[in-house]
Structures are given as C-alpha cells and as structure tokens.
Amino acid sequence: MTIVQNLTRPDGQTLAFQKREAVAGTAASPTVVWFGGFKSDMTGTKATAVDDWAKAHGRAFVRFDYFGHGASSGAFEDGTISRWLDDGLHVLRELAPGPVVLVGSSMGGWLSLLVARALSASGEAQRLRAMVLIAPAPDFTEALMWEGFSDEVKNQIMTAGAYRQPSDYDDEPYVITRNLIEDGRAHLLMDRPVAVSCPVRILQGMRDEDVPWQHALKLVDLLEADDVIYTLIKSGDHRLSTPSDIARLHTVLDEVARCK
C-alpha cells in the first residue's frame, strides 16, 4: 500500500498525494495521473481501481487531492477551477515531469483537458500520451450548474456569494460560490474545437443525471484528435463504479498503456 504524502505549494498549502513507482522494465512508460471529481478524493472507488491496475502492471501512478479536498489543506469553498488546475499542473511538474496518461473523472475530465491545453501552450504537448475521461464534465459550472439554476438560486449566489446545493454523494451540501461560477467562465472549452491530439477514451453512463451523455458526446465532436472512442454504458450512472464498470475501466487502461 502506498503511503499518503504531502506536496507543499509555494503559498504554503499542501496537496496530499500517493505515488506508486514503476517497476523495472516499465520505468520508461508514461506515468498515469488521476484527476478526481468535484469534492471527491483520491480514496474513491475508481481512483483505487486505477491504483490496483497500476500495481498489477508495475506502472507509475500518482493520485492526489485538490486544494480543499480530502486530506489536502484549504477550505473547499475557497477553491476555484483556476486553483484546482494549478494544483494539477504543480503535481505534474513535481511528481510526474515526464510523459503522462491522464485519467480524469467528472470535473477531473475538464481539468485534464485544461492541463492538455496548458501543456500545449508551454510547448510540452508531446508529454501527453493519452487521456481516459470518465463522465467528463467540461464547463460544468456554467452548462451544468448555472444554466440549470433557478433565478432565485442565481440571485442568492450573486448577492450572498454562495449557495448550499444538496448532494447525492455527500451528507453535507456542496457550497457553490460566486467565485467558482465566475472563475469557471475563464476556462470554458465547449464553444470551440478542443486542441487535443493524443488518443482519448471516454466512458459515459446513459443514466448519468449529473453529466448527461449528450454533453460528453458534444465533447467528442469538438476534440481535434482522430483516435477518440466514446463508450456509452446503457445502465451506467454518474459513478460508473460497479464491478463491470471497473472491469471496463481496466480494459481501457490496458489499451492506452500501449501508447508510447
């Protein structure tokens, strides 16, 4: 079992992470990096399943908690897409500086796409060998939150600064802040082609009530990569964490692991 460690950011905040080193013979292979979902943490079913896969195949793997998530420092309601994106880029710089395969779940799918854009802008696009996106939620703060909120909720966010949204995944409501919504608008992707050229695999549940399958299908159309496979699971919900879902995820990881 890998131990939980802390990566200190320049501002003194800490990011909790677990890193599995590659075994002899696979050291030159890309490091697999997990990007979790909104208010999730690195101990979740899917993150653990990817770690199990990495252990079985001797592959390097990094999973971490964003600012305000899990065992990392900071308050969740102080987080923004900008902050969590910077967390991910910091993890890549410090813990996985070579070639990588990004595995992003829900919000982590959006952040993975933003990381891809940042790597391209810095001349490092060749580092990204493949992406696996699970119920990807690019632009969710606008398209899946703001646009679905009532006028009353929108007014509360704009005047009070926050709205406590009940959640099916947590006993406590999610705090949706004005800062989160407004910051998210600086990172919207779904209004133009998405400049990703590496192989992309998308797993999406047809019964996902949080990220409609049509949203992920629109992403397929926008991706500039040719090697894109979209798998729609008829019985799948947003979690995609049943034994059959995990087996499917492992199969996809087996496939992208061959990307050099």
pLDDT at 260 (0 to 100): 58
Determine, yes or no, domain membership for 150: no
Answer whether residue 49 is part of any domain.
yes
State the catalytic residue, choosing from 106, 187, 210, 245. 106
Any domain includes 146: no
Pick from 35, 41, 3, 43: which is nearest to 21 by CA? Answer: 3
CB 49 within 8 A of CB 118: no
Sheet holding 14-20, edge to edge: 5-8, 14-20, 61-64, 31-35, 100-105, 128-134, 200-205, 228-233
Among candidate residues 208, 210, 215, 245, the one labeled active-site is 208
Kindly report the backbone phi and psi dihedral angles of residue 224, in degrees, each rounded to the nearest multiple of 5, phi listed first. -80, -15
Is position 215 annotated as part of the catalytic site?
Answer: no
Structural domain includes residue 246: yes
Is 112 catalytic? The answer is no
Nearest by Cα to 76 from 111, 35, 41, 112: 41
Beta bridge partners of residue 63, listed in sequence order: 18, 34
Residue 155 lies in a domain: no
Is-catalytic flag, 208?
A: yes
Domain that holds residue 81: 5-139+191-256
pLDDT for 259: 63
Total structural domains in the chain?
1
pLDDT at residue 28 in the model:
75
Give domain status of residue 186, yes or no.
no
DSSP letter, residue 30: P
Tell me, yes or no, whether 153 lies in a domain. Answer: no
Judged by DSSP in three states, 222 sits in: helix
List the one residue out of 72, 58, 78, 75 whose CA is nearest residue 17.
Answer: 72
- Given 40, 65, 238, 245, the catalytic residue: 238
- Domain membership of residue 38 (yes or no) is yes
Residue 186 buriedness (CB in 10 A; 0-12 / 13-18 / 19+): exposed
Residue 56, domain CATH = 3.40.50.1820
Name the pTM for this structure.
0.96
Per-residue pLDDT of the chain (260 residues; tens, 9 = 90+): 689 999 999 999 999 999 999 997 776 799 999 999 999 999 999 999 999 999 999 999 999 999 999 999 999 999 999 999 999 999 999 999 999 999 999 999 999 999 999 999 999 999 999 999 999 999 999 999 999 999 999 999 999 999 998 887 777 888 999 999 999 999 999 999 999 999 999 999 999 999 999 999 999 999 999 999 999 999 999 999 999 999 999 999 999 987 65
